[in-house]
Structure 1
């Protein structure tokens, strides 16, 4: 227990530091949240009737709201983690990491503070976008308490996976602007997934791109848990993507962080 105490104490300190930064500079988080919220309102109120007919919901806009919200929740996670990449890049380029290296603190606490803080922000952001979805008509009457818990766990696991990837992107970026640009795929990938339209409605040559990427199986699993739609093999593919991305991001971030400074 004594060996874990310094790591826990230092990680808690770094977590508080990152949460204080997010509280003092909320504009970045709010700007990143604006994209999924605007897309949610745009697709529901401008394209909702047409989209609902396209997925077999007739002229009932609520059918498309139910289809759209799970995808937008994951897009929210992708948007939030861009802020993580920017924050990590600022730490790397402004010299604070070099100072931390000289201090008697647990070596991994800096990264752990960033990751836990980002996951907490992602969960809060998902709750906010989910509340907007409920306000405009999203309902999940079929989901049991166990399915809600599984959906929450999947969202947290996906947020953890994308956060580690974002940390790696931030650490290798020369500045905050480059970190933001490098992390843009985390917003772009949901646009070419099953978030907005079914994969089967896409051109044949493009369907593999949408199907074999991390967002689509996670979205389909989330829909199955909340809406009772068939999940099939999507759940274990989603878990493999989450665990694989988390492991890749962790190893990448650790390797860059442990590298001797030039």
Structure 2
């Protein structure tokens, strides 16, 4: 069996496994939708009013997209590794030609498909419910590499968490502990001006910061002329580094 066929077979199995877990399907799409409804449609932004959510609705599109780009890969890949370990599947996989990198590629492809669909849903809801104005230019197509690279990055991160955590509950706890601070402290929902001066430099250490700034340069009118190449380059480089580390972290045996 060729490498492509091995990856395709594992990706197909992972896709059907995801669809069979209806609770996972529901919350993968429900949580970011709930976030848009609460913060975008109910709380609503108050431009020029000061404080949180004082920017126009389109400013927060990177934050809404970051929700699925961050939470879904961390929890899904990490939990999958913990589940495989509990069921002794890695011992069985060690007797097959499927390599660790191929296993992670297959599951990353599934996450790219899931998160791509969720991102389209979120983008449509933000425009429909909040009245956000997204400039439809050729630059908007670059959302695809930003989302793909971010998914690869956090799939690799999720694989590392899955290796370090001994149980599925441990993976979920670890992913939430990491994801919640990153989501709100990565130039997504909270502007840097609202953070203490001593903390602002720490925001630069978050990989999600570069995703948020790059997406904002593509979807937010006041930032539409800002460069995005550095942000995309950083996210892509980190995606490669975390993917390699994640593939290495996947156990071959239990």
Which interval holds the TM-score relative to the shorter structure? Answer: 0.7 to 0.9
Instruction: Give the structure 2 partner of residue 222 of structure 1.
Output: 215
RMSD in angstroms over aligned alpha carbons? 2.7
Q: Is 1:236 aligned with 2:230?
A: yes
- Do the aligned partners of residues 234 and 190 (structure 1) sit closer, same or farther apart at CA in structure 2, a change above 3 Å counting? farther
Post-superposition offset of 1:98 = 1.0
**Cα deviation, residue 120, structure 1:** 1.4
CA contact (8 A) 1:10 1:105 kept: yes
Structure 1's unaligned 5+ residue stretches are none
User: TM-score normalized by structure 1?
Assistant: 0.83
> What TM-score do the two structures reach when normalised by structure 2?
0.86
Aligned counterparts of 1:174 and 1:67: Cα–Cα separation in 2: 39
Does the 8 Å contact 2:214/2:231 carry over to 1?
Answer: no
Aligned partner of residue 49 in structure 2, secondary structure: helix
Distance 1:192 1:57 in 2: 14
The whole-number CA distance in structure 1 between the counterparts of 2:239 and 2:134 is: 32
Residue 2 of structure 2 aligns with which residue?
6
Out of 50, 56, 66, the position equivalent to 1:74 is: 66
8 Å CA contact 2:100–2:247 kept in 1: the answer is no
Q: Which runs of 5+ in 2 are unaligned?
A: none
Task: Tell me if the contact between 1:89 and 1:175 (Cα under 8 Å) persists in the aligned partners.
Answer: yes
Alignment partner, residue 34 of structure 1: 30
Deviation track 1:23-80 (CA, whole Å, cap 9, x = no partner) reads 100312422443332222222244324466228998xxxx632111221111221121
Identify the residue that residue 148 of structure 2 maps to in structure 1: 156
**C-alpha deviation, 1:14, in angstroms:** 0.1
Judge conservation of contact 1:217–1:237 (CA < 8 Å) in 2.
yes
Shift, 1:239, TM fit: 2.3
- Distance of 1:120 and 1:40 partners within structure 2: 21
Q: 1:51 to 1:80 in 2, by over 3 A?
A: farther
Q: Tell me by how many angstroms 1:225 deviates.
A: 1.1
The count of aligned residue pairs is 251
Q: 1:229 to 1:235 in 2, by over 3 A?
A: farther
